Structure formats: structure tokens, C-alpha cells
Structure 1
Amino acid sequence: MKPVVCAALGLFSLLSPAFAAPQPLDLDAVNKSEWSAEGGNEKEISPLLIKAQVLLDRARFSPGVIDGRKGENLQNAIEAFEKARGLKPDGALDEELWRKLNEASAEPALIAYTIRDEDVKGPFVKVPDKLEEQASLDRLGYSSPEELLAERFHMDQDLLKALNPGKRFDEAGASIVVANVEAKAEPGKQPEKVAKIEIVKSERVLRALAKDGSVMAVYPASIGSEEKPAPSGSHTVRAVAPNPNYTYNPEYGFKGVKAKEKFEIKPGPNNPVGSTWIDLSVESFGIHGTPEPEKVGKVYSQGCVRLTNWDVEELSKMVEKGTPVAFLD
């Protein structure tokens, strides 16, 4: 912050939210966050927004990556939640929305987690940027324990580190603070099957609908690309493939890919289609995960419908062969 040059400016810097000192960022600060008119307007990571994102995630109105910051994915998730709960759909984090979110779940937003042996044993890999070079790897695994843990708890890696200053993530037995995203359904209860999927291109979201037309889940999505635009009309789910291979076809003509022959990339969370592929009745088109969850919902895709790995894994458990899928402009 620039030095205060006069008393009036000094007073303004104390009163204006834009110049307020960063709030404490720890488990208690987030779990005890309460709505206020100025809440969530900070330039830094906001405890209030972390809590809101976790609550939306647990209600299956996904904000994408939990990062504690304002953004289009969070606004879309709020608006979808408001529509589903009969509130004014303005995408604003207001007092009524806050009350409804907290009514949906009494579990804390952040919890302590003890790092396990399987979290740190690897193997971890350095994944090349070029698709042709990725084809030489035996598996497209995580690049580090931080990436593995951040994805498991639907978090941005920067937020994971900010909540755990000075902590190492490669030591089994260490205690860290993470988003409590697993407190959703009753233990052992399988989610209801989706009756229909709607992919809304203009809003960059995927909606999962129940038999009565109510919204079961909403996920941010990157939809199609210049090289491989999304289709229109009605289609169906053909199959679900967890841990898929990815086959590149030179007919796609992706920028930066010079290969003239088809090649295959092995499975893993950093595979170009992520951890899960939901095959659609459109040749070579599906709903899938991504190695770059922070880019989901942005104008970024190599074709198809791209969700975060955790969102597509959740959706894959709610669909079956023949589930209708409608692409809406």
C-alpha cells in the first residue's frame, strides 16, 4: 500500500473495504465467518467466500475450484442455487442466500486432515505441455502431493498453501487444514440418478435435472473449441469410462500439435480428458475431466464438455446409458 500523504487519506484507508487490512486466514476465521454487506469484497482471499464456495460445492452447485475469490464460476453457482431455492437470481451473495446456504449443511467448512501414506507415496510425474510428449509417459499422474491434496479437496493449490503456512505436504502424519467437501450425502447412500443433462453454452454450465425437472446439480463447464465446436440438439449418454486413455486424431487440428498420425496418451488425472470420460452419442464427443481445473468455465477447451475431475466423477455416478443430454445455445 502507498504511504499515507495526508490525514484525510489516512482516515479513508481505515474506513474503505478496498484498503482494509487482510483478514486472518485460518480454520476458525473461515468456519466462524458470517455474512456482512462488505463481506467478500476484499482484494485478498476472503474467509467468507471460502465458506460460501464450500457450502455451494456440498449442495452440488459447484463453484469449480475453491479459491476464496470472486469470479464468474462462483457467481453462476450462486445464481443457480438462488433459482433452485426460489430466491431472486441475481448472483449476489446476500443475507438471504447466506441463510439458505447455511441451512443446507451444519458441517464446518474447513477441517483438519492428517496426511496419509498413500497421499505422498507417488509416483509423481513431471507432465510435459505438448501432447506428443505426454504420449511417452506410462501414466499421467499427479505432479506433487500438493496437487493431489488440492484436487481431493476441490481446492486451488495457492489456497491450500495459504491455509497451511510453513507446512509440508509430503510428510505422512502431518495435520493440515482442508475444505470439508465430502460432507454431502448420508454415508453409504447412493445419489439419485439424473433424468436429463442440459449443457448451456451461453452460460458455460452443465445442469443435471431430476425426473420432476428440478435441478440436482450445476457444474461450471468449458464447452467446445474453435477446432472442435460443441454440437447442438439432443443426444444421449452411451457409456462411462473411469480412468480413460486419450486418443488424439490429427483431424482435430489442435494448435501446437504437429502429429500427422493418431497417438494415445495413458490414463491419469493429468490426462487431457482427466479422470473420467462420459461418452455421448456424438462421434468422439463426451463430458470429461481436466488436468487444469482452474480453467474450467473459462473460454478454454480442446473440444467436448470439460468439468473439473471431481465434478465429472460425481456426475458419472448419477448417469447411465441412455441418459438424455441436450445442448442449449
Structure 2
Amino acid sequence: MTRAEYLFVIVWIINFIISVLYYLWGALFYVPARERQDKNEEEYLHDNRRTYLIRVIVMVLCPIVGPLFFLVSHLIYMTIFRQEVDLDDVIFSKERVKTNVKADEERERNLVPIEEALAVSDKKNLRMLMLNVIRGDLQDSLESISLALNSEDSETSHYAASVLRDELNDFRVTVQKIYTDMKEEEPDQTDSEEMLIDYMNRILCQKVFTEIEQAKFVMMMEEAAESLYQKNASRLLPQRYEAVCLRLLEQKQFDKVSIWCERLVQQYPEELASYTCRLKLYFMSNDKEHFFTVMDQLKKSDIIIDNETLELIRVFS
């Protein structure tokens, strides 16, 4: 046996003895002591015998390196991470705390578009889907939920009817409250008008009301937009102009849409909405001359075009 081999055997034997002593100390003394302590104090997660056994295996297979690694790790933990944190200057306020809830991966993995799920014959899965949708944000899903009213499964249609009834009733009450506040506003106040336009458009664009009620709410929305225009036209952003135009177009109120389009062009001539609203108006009113005139103007402009408008240009070019 060479000197190097002899030295290696000696080092390995010493390393083995240290590893065994470490395991005996941890398994026979440290772990039982911690278990007795946990019975009298608040429960805390400590190393168990299995943890010490795994460490010993690593220490035996990696002489010197293994014990040094665990020793340095323990020293770092004792000197840095074990220090108490000074929280004297920290103020906890529930008003400023935002709770981040862990994602429900199992639920998200099972979500599919309701339009596709309604074609599934498995009633159990369909019902589970409806319950998952109900647990989420409903206001942007009312149109899809309304499709479930015609489901062959009576329980699924009952879920959909209950959700729609509650959400639409909340919408009616909220709109009436904001509308009343709008009527009582001071001449220089515009908060209610802005809130009413944004809130109503989010629901009305899904077309979940009857024709009569939809028309009534669209007129209220248009009234709020007119009030906002008279008070402070700068608060009528292009998105709000577009929302009013599209809802009026659905009601085929072409004369009113024309007025709002003119206002939009005057206030925001370089916005894409000023072109798309007119294109939709002229298309629905079958005004071919003005339709192609506006389309040519849009082609020659430097405005960035979205995919929907680009597809429209390709179809009619």
C-alpha cells in the first residue's frame, strides 16, 4: 500500500467516525430533546432522524467535503439567518396589506371556455365548470353564462339563471344610484358620468338584457356621455367615445352615432377610434361612399392599426 492510499484510508476512517458520531448525537440526543421541548412550547419544525441519516450518507460518500459543507452551512445559519429582526419601525396596517392567495392550479387546469363546455355531455364536469366560473369574476363572463340557460342539464341552467339574476339586479341598483348622483352633481363635477359610462359599457357590451331594457340602459349611458361632454369634453376619452358609439350602433341609432363620431373626430382626429367608429357606422348604414372615403384616409394616415381593422381593410381593399 502506497503512502497516498494509506493516507486516504486514514482520512476516510476518521471521516466515517465523525459521521457516525454526528448521527448518534443528532438521533439519540438532539432530536429527543427537541421533541420534549415542543410539548411545552409552541410547535416548531426541527430536523428529524431521517434528516440526520441522509446527511451522514452524504458525509460518508463525500469525505471532508460533506462534513465541511454542513459545518459551514450551520455556521452561516447561526451567524446570519438566526439573528432577530428589528421590527420596531415597521407598522402593519390592514388597509395597506395586499394578500396574495396561492393559485388554485387544479381549478385553473380544468377551466375551458363555457361555449365548449356546454357541448359536453358529462353533467358532473359541466356543473363543476359552472361552479368554478361562479367563484370567479362574473361581470366579464355574463354573456357566456347566459348561454348555459339553454343547457339540457336543469341544474346547470339553474346555476346560470341564479347568477344572471343576482348580477343583473346588482347592475340595475348600481346604475340607478350612480344616475341619481349624476343628477344631483354640481355643474363642475363629472365623477358620476365617468363612472356610469365605464361601468355600464362593461355589462351592456355583453348584451344580456332584453331588447327593451338594453335600449333603456343605452339611452342612460348616452345621456351620461352628453352630460360629460357639456361639462368637460376633455374627460371624454377615445375609449368612452367608442363605447357610446358602439352601444348606439347596436340600437341602430345612426343619427346619434353620427353626432358622436363628428365630436370624436374633432377632439381626437389622430386616434384609431375616430376612424373605426365611422367605418362601422357607414357599413351598418350601407353608406358605401363615405365608408371607402374614410378607409382611404385611414390607409394614408400614420395611425397604428389593430388586427381587427387590418382584416377589415384587407377584405374591402
Q: Same fold (TM over 0.5)?
A: no
- Larger gyration radius, structure 1 or structure 2: 2
Taking structure 1 as the reference length, the TM-score comes to 0.23
**Greater length-normalized contact order (CA 8 Å, ≥ 6 residues apart):** 1
More strand by share: 1
Taking structure 2 as the reference length, the TM-score comes to 0.24
More helix by share: 2
